[in-house]
Amino acid sequence: MKKLFINFIFILSFISIKAQQLYIEENGKISLTQQGVSHLASLPLKCLDKEFPFKPWYVISDTTFTTPKKMQPAFCGCYDWHSCVHGHWLLVALLKQYPEMPEADSILTKLKRHLSAENIRTELALFKGDNLTFERPYGWGWILQLQNELLTWNTPTGRELSQNLNPLARFLANEWVGFLNKLQYPVREPEHYNLAFSMCLAWDYAITVRDTVLQNSIKKSAIRFYKNDIACPASYEPGGYDFLSPCLEEADLMQRILPGKEFNLWFNKFMPELYNNPGELFRVCDVPDPADAKMVHLYGLNFSRAWCLYDIAAKMPEEKRKSAQDLALQHFKYSLPHVVSGTYEGDHWLATFALLAIRSLEQ
């Protein structure tokens, strides 16, 4: 028993040392090392073509079922469709920022093979028939975020792949408008169906492509759903499987659509504690079993809290920012070691959440 305990401590120490090699912290800002870039890229590179294990989220009708790779040739790996989508986003985002990375050729090969015009036409067919709500809203948001990344990648490959993805992105952007116009109540759950998080992803795309119809639909819906909210019950968070904070995701959306002064007036009623004692409001989450595919969500929650806190802090009065930023950094640093844990339950998606957090923390 003593030997097992010593081995466990050794493994944790190794993971911690390796995690420290992934990034540089300077003046509260985070930036990836070359080793960190390569490690994050290695995770989707390993799973984009890993067809099984696979979790389908669509309705199987009569003779329509076949292998995942035939039904979704672009996004058939990384355990489920949406994780494969944001695995592609991760590779594009890394390659844009670090074009000389050692894995560049491998990434380009996979992106061009997966995101072909023919494959995207097949993907689009998934959203017809019995699957009109397939991957709504999480996967819808991630497709638009992937397209946003491709459209802002000013290279021949970026232009080619964004053109290939455009029919699916345009289709889902239009579906977003119809969905929000008929939705009567917000979905505040802390996992894939959280509405505010996916609206953030869609908003970023709408701004890039200047889709004023989608922008107006998101803004109008956000105000309708959230503008009158007060005293968000953050003490109810987290739940055992959360990877998103309903309170913080709502605030992250509102800081996008409201001017700074108007946002602070709203936020002071919505979550006033964050101005004064954020550490008491949101404590870093631990995970008792990192091999449990649901419990490992809490590592992702730490990352998503980190980017929300940093984004929100940027809109707060300057004298109130540091405590929220320090709390964001604590959450990030706690979860990062578990992106190098080697467990597929986390490896297939946590790197994406880590990079989203890094993007906020390196600003």
Residue 14 above 70 pLDDT?
no
Cα–Cα distance for residue pair 229/272, rounded to 1 Å: 12
Residue 363 above 80 pLDDT?
no
**Lookup: tokens for 133:** 């709500």
Query: Nearest to residue 143, comparing CAs of 171, 179, 109, 108?
Result: 171
- Taking residues 109-125, report their average pLDDT: 97
Greater model confidence, 257 or 18: 257
Cα–Cα distance for residue pair 64/83, rounded to 1 Å: 23
| 66, 208, 337 from 15: Cα distances, Å | 39, 38, 6
Residue 42 above 60 pLDDT?
yes
Query: Nearest to residue 36, comparing CAs of 87, 81, 101?
Result: 101
The pLDDT confidence band at residue 20, using thresholds 50, 70 and 90, is low
The runs of H, that is alpha helices, within 287-320 are 297-315
Asked if residue 249 lies in contact with residue 196, where contact means CB atoms within 8 angstroms, the answer is yes
Cα–Cα distance for residue pair 266/161, rounded to 1 Å: 40
Cα–Cα distance for residue pair 111/313, rounded to 1 Å: 35
**Lookup: tokens for 189:** 């759950």
What per-residue confidence (pLDDT) applies to 29?
A: 84
Top mean pLDDT of 65-74, 214-223, 331-340 is at 214-223
Candidate from 9-18, 176-185, 211-220, 264-273 with smallest mean pLDDT = 9-18
Token look-up 């355990």 returns 79
What per-residue confidence (pLDDT) applies to 346?
A: 87
What per-residue confidence (pLDDT) applies to 342?
A: 76
Greater model confidence, 288 or 93: 93
pLDDT digit string, tens, across residues 234-265: 999 999 999 999 999 999 999 999 999 999 99
The pLDDT confidence band at residue 63, using thresholds 50, 70 and 90, is low
- pTM value is 0.93
- Taking residues 138-166, report their average pLDDT: 98
Cα–Cα distance for residue pair 341/350, rounded to 1 Å: 10
DSSP state string for 73-119: SSS--SSSHHHHHHHHHHHHHHHHH-TT-TTHHHHHHHHHHHT-HHH
The distance from CA 239 to its chain's CA centroid, rounded to whole angstroms, is 19
- Mean pLDDT over all residues of the chain? 92
Asked if residue 292 lies in contact with residue 305, where contact means CB atoms within 8 angstroms, the answer is no
What per-residue confidence (pLDDT) applies to 345?
A: 82
Greater model confidence, 282 or 346: 282
Where are the domains positioned within the chain?
A: 234-357
Cα–Cα distance for residue pair 108/235, rounded to 1 Å: 45
Residue 274 above 90 pLDDT?
yes
What per-residue confidence (pLDDT) applies to 65?
A: 67
Residue 13 above 70 pLDDT?
no
The pLDDT confidence band at residue 288, using thresholds 50, 70 and 90, is confident
Tell me which H or E stretch contains 272. none
- Taking residues 189-208, report their average pLDDT: 98
**Lookup: tokens for 198:** 């996916």
Categorise residue 210: left if φ over 0, alpha if ψ from -120 to 50, beta otherwise: left
Asked if residue 282 lies in contact with residue 327, where contact means CB atoms within 8 angstroms, the answer is yes
What per-residue confidence (pLDDT) applies to 167?
A: 98
The pLDDT confidence band at residue 115, using thresholds 50, 70 and 90, is very high
What are phi and psi for residue 23, nearest 5 degrees?
-145, 165
Residue 88 above 50 pLDDT?
yes
- Taking residues 266-270, report their average pLDDT: 98
Whether the link from the prior residue into 238 is cis, omega within 30° of 0, is yes
**Lookup: tokens for 140:** 């819808």
Query: Nearest to residue 140, comparing CAs of 77, 210, 66, 193?
Result: 193
Top mean pLDDT of 61-75, 89-103, 123-137, 274-288 is at 89-103
Query: Nearest to residue 105, comparing CAs of 45, 18, 180?
Result: 45
